[in-house]
């Protein structure tokens, strides 16, 4: 069971660098950036090879939680290293870690929240699970499958299409809402509200 004083660690998965900023693979970065904006926080470099924002999330009262937002700066397939270092630094139980990531097996723009599970070939999750075990929360942001014969790697490293971009702000906003709901009200409530 989690220690109530421990913060939540919300990790947006993505690749650092301007050339990746609009990629489908970087939706996790987009969601934590919006959460930081809502908390009026600025990302700062952390020795764990990550950018972090520390603050509080949720309504005033007992549901107001201490949180650390993080963007690992290690590239997607090495995310486990920075996340483990942050977990150790902030003393975060694994069940208070939330990975926000793109998901090929869910249609765009669909959200699914869950605790634990496999990595579905996602290199960021694979790296995290290898370092932490699988019992962390996931906010899975559906990006759908590549069209035709496009390779998965090419698809996830491309920017959202102009059609997708029409809904992207709404999708990122909804994903950020789902994280806030998960932290304040728990997984079941967040699933019943946001899983579609």
Whether residue 82 contacts residue 72, with contact meaning beta carbons closer than 8 Å, is answered with yes
> What does DSSP say about strands 111-115 and 44-46: parallel, antiparallel, or unpaired?
unpaired
The predicted-structure confidence for 149-158, as pLDDT tens digits, reads as follows 999 999 999 9
**Dihedral sign for Cα atoms in the order 43, 185, 91, 14:** negative
Of 25, 46, 101, 137, the catalytic one is: 25
Active site residue 25: yes
Q: Rounded CA gap, 18 and 121, in Å?
A: 25
The predicted-structure confidence for 54-101, as pLDDT tens digits, reads as follows 999 988 888 789 999 999 999 999 999 999 999 999 999 999 999 999
């Amino acid at each position: 069971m989690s220690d109530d004083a421990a913060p939540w660690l919300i990790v947006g998965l993505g690749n650092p660098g301007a050339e990746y900023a609009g990629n489908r693979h970087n939706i996790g970065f987009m969601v934590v950036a919006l959460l930081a904006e809502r908390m009026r926080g600025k990302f700062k470099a952390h020795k764990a090879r990550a950018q972090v924002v520390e603050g509080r999330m949720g309504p005033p009262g007992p549901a107001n939680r201490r949180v650390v937002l993080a963007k690992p700066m290690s590239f997607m397939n090495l995310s486990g290293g920075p996340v483990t270092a942050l977990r150790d630094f902030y003393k975060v139980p694994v069940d208070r870690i939330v990975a926000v990531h793109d998901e090929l097996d869910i249609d765009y723009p669909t959200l699914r929240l869950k605790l634990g599970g496999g990595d579905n070939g996602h290199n960021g999750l694979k790296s995290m699970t290898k370092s932490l075990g699988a019992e962390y929360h996931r906010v899975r942001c559906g990006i759908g499958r590549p069209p035709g014969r496009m390779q998965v790697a090419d698809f996830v490293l491309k920017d959202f299409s102009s059609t997708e971009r029409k809904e992207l702000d709404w999708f990122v906003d909804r994903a950020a809402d789902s994280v806030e709901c998960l932290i304040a009200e728990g997984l079941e409530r967040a699933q019943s509200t946001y899983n579609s």
